[in-house]
C-alpha cells in the first residue's frame, strides 16, 4: 500500500527528517536476506559507500581519462567494427557498454574488462531484481523460508559468493603488491578506483564483493536504461546528429577532456534530460515514514507507511510546451532562459528523476560523465537507426516504466576518416 502525494509537496518530502529512503529500500528489497547483502551495504546507515560516491566519484576529473580509455574497446567488443548494418543485441550490447565504462572506476584494471567478472555483476543485477519480484509474490511470514529455495534468490546467493571470492583475491593481491614494493623501496602502485578508496577507509566493514555488487545494483540498470532511451531518441531524430557532433567537437577543441568540456555539451545534456521525459514513470521520491508525521494540511502519515510523489509535472502542459513532443533543445532553451534546474544532473519539483534532499542520488554526476563520454564515442564512430517501420514505446508496469526492451536498433561503424575527438 502506497500513499501518493502531489508534486507540490515534493520539497516538503525532500526536507522532512521523519521520512527515510534507505529504510524503505532495505525493507522493500529484502536487505536482511542472505545473498542480498549488497543492498544492505548500499543503504547502510554508516553511509560509507554514499559518502565515498559523494567525495570521490562526483565531479572528479581524474577518473575521466580512465573511463574514456575503456569505452573504445568496449564498443569494439559489443558493437564491433563492422561497416555493414547489423542489429544490436539490445539489452546485452547497451548494458555491456555502461557496465564496462563503470567497471573501469568501480573495480579497476584487474577485472574491468574480464568477461567472467562482467558476467557475475550483470547477472547479479538481473537476478537481484527478479528475486525481489519473486519474493514480493509471497506472504510476508513465508518469505524468510521460501527465499532458501526460490530460483532467483538462490542465484543471488551463488553469484554473491563468486563476487566475494573474486574481490577477496583482488584485495589480497593489491596488499601483497604494496608490501613487495615497500620491501624493495619501490613506489607503491597507485590506483584510482573504488577498490583502492575503500581499502583506505579503516572503519569499512563491508566486503569488497558486496561493495561491487552494491554499485552495480545502483548504477547499472538506471544508467543503462536512460542510455537506451537516448539512443532511441537520437535514432528517431537524426536532425540532431550534426549539431551534436559540432557542439562536441568545439567543446573538446576549446577544453581538454574534463568537467569544463562536458559542461559545454549543453545540447547533449538537454537531449539526455529530454530522453528522461520519454520514460513515463508515474512517481518519484519514495520514502518510508519512520516517525508519525503530518502533512502541511494536518493529515497524519502513520509510522511505517510508504509514500511516493506524483511525477506527472514532467508532462504537464503548464510546465512544458507541447509536452508530448520530443524536443532535444527543450532543456537547453530553458537553461538559456535562466532556469537553474534544467541540467541533466539537477533535480527539481517538476523533474525528480534523481530524487532529492539528503538522499538525492550521489551517483548522478558519475552517471552524467559516463553517459556523455559513451555518447561522444558513439556519435562519432557509429551510424545508428531504428529498423525501418519500427515504432518504439516504453513498457508501463504499474507506476514504473521501462524502456522498450525489444528495440531493433541497427548500427554500423562509420565510413571515412576517424574523426572522434576522444
Provide the mask over 336-355, with x wherever binding to ligand HEM is found by CB under 6 A and - wherever it is not: -----------------xxx
Which of 64/150 has CB closer to ligand HEM? 64
Residue 78 and residue 71 in contact, taking contact as beta carbons nearer than 8 Å: no
> Given the complex with ligand HEM, which of 5 and 353 has the nearer CB atom?
353
Minimum CB distance to ligand HEM smaller for 43 or for 277:
43
Q: How many CB atoms lie within 10 A of CB 357?
A: 18
Per-residue CA distances from 239 to 107, 117, 134, 224, 419 (Å): 38, 39, 43, 24, 19
Task: Check: CB of residue 19 under 8 Å from CB of residue 293.
Answer: yes
CA atoms of 273 and 271, how far apart (whole Å) = 5
Contact 167, 12 (CB under 8 A): no
Binding residues for ligand HEM, total number by CB under 6 A: 27
Q: Please, which of residues 214-233 interact with ligand HEM by CB under 6 A?
A: 215, 218-219, 222-223, 226
Q: Is 285 in the site for ligand HEM (CB under 6 A)?
A: yes
d(CA 317, CA 154): 47
Question: CA of 281: how far to CAs of 234, 313, 379, in Å?
Answer: 21, 11, 27
- Considering beta carbons, is residue 261 or 361 the nearer one to ligand HEM? 361
Q: Quote the least distance from Cβ 38 to ligand HEM, whole Å.
A: 11
Q: Which of 43, 100, 206, 351 binds ligand HEM (CB under 6 A)?
A: 43
- Is residue 356 part of the contact set for ligand HEM (CB under 6 A)? yes
> Is residue 56 involved in binding ligand HEM (CB under 6 A)?
no
As measured in angstroms, the least distance from the Cβ of 368 to ligand HEM is 8
Torsion, Cα 208 209 212 217, to 10 degrees, reads -140
Helices 64-78 and 90-106: crossing angle, nearest 10°? 150
When asked if residue 21 is in the footprint of ligand HEM (CB under 6 A), the reply is: yes
Q: How far is the CB of 226 from ligand HEM (least distance, A)?
A: 5
Q: Compare residues 112 and 226 and give the one whose CB is closer to ligand HEM.
A: 226
Quote the cell numbers at residue 153: 534468490
Residues that bind ligand HEM (CB under 6 A): 21-22, 42-43, 50, 53, 57, 215, 218-219, 222-223, 226, 285, 353-357, 359-364, 366-367
Amino acid at each position: 500500500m502506497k500513499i501518493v502525494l502531489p508534486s507540490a509537496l515534493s520539497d516538503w518530502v525532500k526536507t522532512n527528517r521523519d521520512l527515510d529512503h534507505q529504510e524503505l529500500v532495505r525493507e522493500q528489497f529484502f536487505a536482511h536476506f542472505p545473498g542480498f547483502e549488497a543492498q544492505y551495504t548500499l543503504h547502510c546507515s554508516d553511509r560509507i559507500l554514499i559518502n565515498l560516491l559523494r567525495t570521490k566519484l562526483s565531479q572528479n576529473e581524474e577518473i575521466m581519462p580512465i573511463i574514456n580509455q575503456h569505452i573504445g574497446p568496449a564498443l569494439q567488443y559489443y558493437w564491433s567494427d563492422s561497416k555493414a548494418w547489423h542489429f544490436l543485441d539490445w539489452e546485452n550490447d547497451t548494458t555491456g557498454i555502461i557496465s564496462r565504462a563503470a567497471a573501469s572506476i568501480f573495480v579497476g584494471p584487474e577485472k574491468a574488462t574480464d568477461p567472467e567478472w562482467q558476467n557475475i555483476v550483470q547477472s547479479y543485477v538481473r537476478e537481484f531484481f527478479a528475486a525481489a519480484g519473486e519474493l514480493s509474490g509471497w506472504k510476508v511470514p513465508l518469505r524468510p523460508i521460501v527465499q532458501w529455495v526460490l530460483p532467483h534468490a538462490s542465484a543471488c546467493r551463488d553469484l554473491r559468493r563468486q563476487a566475494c571470492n573474486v574481490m577477496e583475491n583482488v584485495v589480497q593481491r593489491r596488499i601483497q603488491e604494496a608490501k613487495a614494493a615497500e620491501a624493495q623501496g619501490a613506489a607503491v602502485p597507485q590506483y584510482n578506483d573504488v577498490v583502492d578508496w575503500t581499502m583506505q577507509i579503516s572503519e569499512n566493514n563491508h566486503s569488497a564483493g558486496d561493495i561491487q555488487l552494491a554499485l552495480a545494483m545502483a548504477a547499472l540498470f538506471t544508467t543503462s536504461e536512460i542510455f537506451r532511451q537516448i539512443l532511441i531518441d537520437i535514432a528517431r531524430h537524426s536532425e540532431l546528429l550534426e549539431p551534436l557532433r559540432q557542439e562536441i567537437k568545439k567543446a573538446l577543441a576549446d577544453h581538454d577532456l574534463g568537467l569544463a568540456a562536458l559542461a559545454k555539451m549543453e545540447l547533449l545534456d538537454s537531449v539526455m534530460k529530454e530522453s528522461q521525459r520519454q520514460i513515463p514513470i508515474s512517481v518519484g521520491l519514495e520514502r518510508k515514514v519512520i516517525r508519525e508525521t503530518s502533512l502541511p494540511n494536518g493529515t497524519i502519515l502513520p509510522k511505517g507507511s510508504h509514500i511516493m510523489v506524483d511525477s506527472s509535472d514532467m508532462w504537464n502542459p503548464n510546465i512544458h510546451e507541447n509536452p508530448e513532443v520530443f524536443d532535444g533543445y527543450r532543456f537547453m532553451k530553458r537553461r538559456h532562459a535562466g532556469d537553474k534546474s534544467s541540467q541533466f544532473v539537477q533535480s527539481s519539483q517538476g523533474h525528480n528523476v534523481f530524487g532529492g534532499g539528503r538522499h538525492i542520488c550521489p551517483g548522478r554526476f558519475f552517471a552524467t560523465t559516463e553517459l556523455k563520454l559513451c555518447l561522444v564515442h558513439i556519435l562519432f564512430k557509429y551510424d545508428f537507426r531504428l529498423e525501418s517501420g519500427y515504432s518504439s514505446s516504453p513498457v508501463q508496469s504499474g507506476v514504473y516504466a521501462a524502456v522498450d526492451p525489444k528495440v531493433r536498433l541497427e548500427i554500423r561503424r562509420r565510413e571515412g576518416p576517424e574523426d572522434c575527438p576522444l
